[in-house]
Amino acid sequence: MAKKFPHVHVVGVDLAPRTDIPSQPPNLRLEFDDANLGFPHYHGCFDVVHCRSMCGGINDRNWFFSELERCLRPGGVLIVIDCETPILDHNKRPMTPASLDGHYPQTRGWMARIMYEAGQDFAARGASPVFGNIASEYSRALMATGSLPNPVVQLMHIPLGPWPIGNTEVETRWIRQLGEMMRRNALVSDFHFLTYLNSFSLPTH
Ligand SMILES: C[S@@+](CC[C@H](N)C(=O)[O-])C[C@H]1O[C@@H](n2cnc3c(N)ncnc32)[C@H](O)[C@@H]1O
């Protein structure tokens, strides 16, 4: 973002921000911080607050969104992006997570298993419930801040492989490219997850 908009000042916050970025742009500052502690030092400071894929580490989502809103300048924009499970099949029906009992009638549920386990792990560490219909949960939480005049929620189905067909040729090309990137990403997650399971001597496929 800092590279794309060189005329703005960008502050990136994470519990563990990347510090190995080659040629970090001069308009970017990275900070280590726990979002659950709030950002009172940034109240009223930003025109845009962008928060992506953070829900697993947030203890109280309603409070957190209000806190992000307090960091905006008047007229500022808050953009929150996250993903929800379950993983859906071709008919947009939730897939059953693969079981860990050693029987694998099919392997297609492994991504669903990964997301399920991730949800369990986030919840065990005290995060607000993450999975289920996150779009409507976010919408409710954004409305609950009481100070965002026009919250807009958009739900997108992102393919996990390069096979979907769009409504037009251009759309098909676009979603297939997206699906291919997601597939590569999923294969890496799958590998790490199965390595993790192996370390507990659980069966893997
Ligand atoms: C799935 S990654 C997303 C990273 C980045 N936001 C992105 O979209 O590419 C989730 C990130 O949230 C960070 N995170 C989770 N809980 C946090 C918290 N309470 N405060 C700050 N960062 C947190 C993790 O360290 C991790 O880098």
- From the CB of 187, is ligand 1 less than 6 Å away? no
Please indicate whether residue 57, judged by its CB atom, sits closer than 6 Å to ligand 1: yes
pLDDT of residue 196 exceeding 70? no
C-alpha span between 181 and 55 (Å, rounded): 22
Task: Report the residue among 1, 10, 14 best suited for mutation to probe ligand 1: largest number of ligand atoms under 8 A from its CB.
Answer: 14
The model's pLDDT over 80-126, given as tens digits with 9 standing for 90+, comes to: 888 776 788 878 888 888 877 766 666 567 778 888 887 788 778 77
Q: Tell me how far the alpha carbon of residue 14 lies from the centroid of ligand 1, in angstroms.
A: 6
Return the biggest CA–CA distance within the chain: 56
pLDDT band at 77 (very low <50, low <70, confident <90, very high): very high
Ligand 1 pocket member 16 (CB < 6 A)? yes
What's the CA gap between 160 and 155, in Å, rounded?
Answer: 16
DSSP state of 45: -
- The pTM of the full predicted model, rounded to 2 decimals, is 0.80
What's the mean pLDDT in 16-33? 87
What's the pLDDT at 192? 61
Atom of ligand 1 nearest to the CA of 34: 20
Q: Does the beta carbon of 124 lie inside 6 Å of ligand 1? A: no
pLDDT attached to residue 172: 93
Between 199 and 140, name the one with better pLDDT.
Answer: 140
Model confidence over 38-63: pLDDT tens digits? 999 999 999 999 999 887 788 888 88
Neighbours of 137 (CB within 10 A): 20
- Show me where the domains of the chain are located: 34-157, 159-205
Distance CA 174, CA 180 (A): 10
**Residue pair 68/78 in contact by the 8 Å Cβ criterion:** yes
Which one, of 85, 78, 80, lies nearest residue 148 by Cα? 78
> What is the mean pLDDT of the segment spanning 66-71?
93
